[in-house]
Amino acid sequence: MAQQLLMPKATAVWLVDNTALSFDQIAQFCKLHPLEVKAIADGESSQGIKGLDPVATGQLSREEISTAESNPEHKLKLSDPKVRVPEAKRKGPRYTPVSKRQDRPNAILWLVRNHPELKDAQISRLVGTTKSTIEQIRNRTHWNAANLTPMDPVTLGLCTQIDLDLEVERAAKNRVPTAEDQQDSMLLSARETETAESAEESGEKEIDADAVFAKLSSMKRTETDDEDDGNS
């Protein structure tokens, strides 16, 4: 990883104010355009910027400055850093402790069943697995498919609830509405609504009529029974 100058504009301000370097030399060292350095020297673009001493920060030596001042063709070079900063690791699948790796297939099965909207890449980020393993579990071709039990990856400690909720929310935003969703969300026309209401009302009327006839029949039977009892 190539070393980079810290705060190039602030460094340029300091070099303009404290050295006899040319605009081209300062521009080359600070990765600026010579016109920007000229504007700094004229006070047009450096207002409010405090100069940063590259010697104090260990990015430039006094000897290097002196050499460049005596030779306008000399290009300034950054000093070797005294402390090596380790290069940032590239983001990859989540690291899973060895003790919990045996639980990953169970967690994948749980995610596949409970959150089918999640993509393979999202499941991979959550539990630290490969797409091929996810496909095998989806298709039930995994070597241990018969013995797998769905288990919540949060409970297993493979991911946090916040991470899971975030991935589920992302999947929900990116999900394309299905035909069933569109049908459920579709409003009925006025005619269809009136027809449905009429059907419900007629059904209620029929039920009420049946109840009335049943009540009348019951009353007639009761009267007939009473007459029979009186005749006897």
| pLDDT tens string 146-181 | 888 999 988 888 888 989 999 999 888 876 555 555
Residues 26-66 pLDDT 10s: 999 998 899 999 988 888 876 778 888 999 888 889 999 99
HSE-CB of 34 using CA atoms within 13 angstroms? 5
Task: Name which of 68, 92, 70 is nearest 78 in CA terms.
Answer: 68
56-83 pLDDT, tens digit each: 888 889 999 999 999 999 999 988 866 5
Residue 98: partners with Cβ closer than 8 Å, 6 or more residues away: none
> How confident is the model over 90-147, as pLDDT tens digits?
455 555 555 566 788 999 999 999 999 999 999 989 988 888 999 999 998 988 888 8
Q: What mean pLDDT, rounded, does the chain reach?
A: 77
Does residue 185 surpass a pLDDT of 70? no
* In contact, 68 and 54? CB cutoff 8 Å: no
Please, which residues have CB within 8 angstroms of residue 119's CB and are 6 or more apart in sequence? Answer: 171
pLDDT at position 105, please?
92
Would you state the pLDDT for residue 216?
A: 64
| Percentage with pLDDT > 90 across the chain | 25
Helix (H, G, I), strand (E, B) or coil at 125: helix
pLDDT attached to residue 156: 85
| Separation between Cα atoms, residue 163 and residue 173, nearest integer Å | 16
pLDDT in the model for residue 191:
57
DSSP string, 54-88: TTTTTSS-HHHHHHHHH-TTPPP-PPPPSSPPPPP
Structure tokens at 39: 């504007």
Sign, CA dihedral 132-135-140-141, equals: negative
Reported as half-sphere exposure (CB side, CA atoms, 13 A), residue 69 has a value of 11
Give, as one character, the DSSP assignment of residue 51: P
pLDDT band at 201 (very low <50, low <70, confident <90, very high): low
Looking at residue 180, what DSSP letter applies? H
- Using the structure block, give the residue that is written with the tokens 């989540």: 94
Q: pTM for the full model?
A: 0.39
| 8 Å CB contact between 117 and 171 | yes
Rounded to the nearest angstrom, the gap between the alpha carbon of residue 60 and the centroid of all alpha carbons in its chain is 42
The confidence score (pLDDT) of residue 174 equals 75
Does residue 7 have a pLDDT over 60? yes
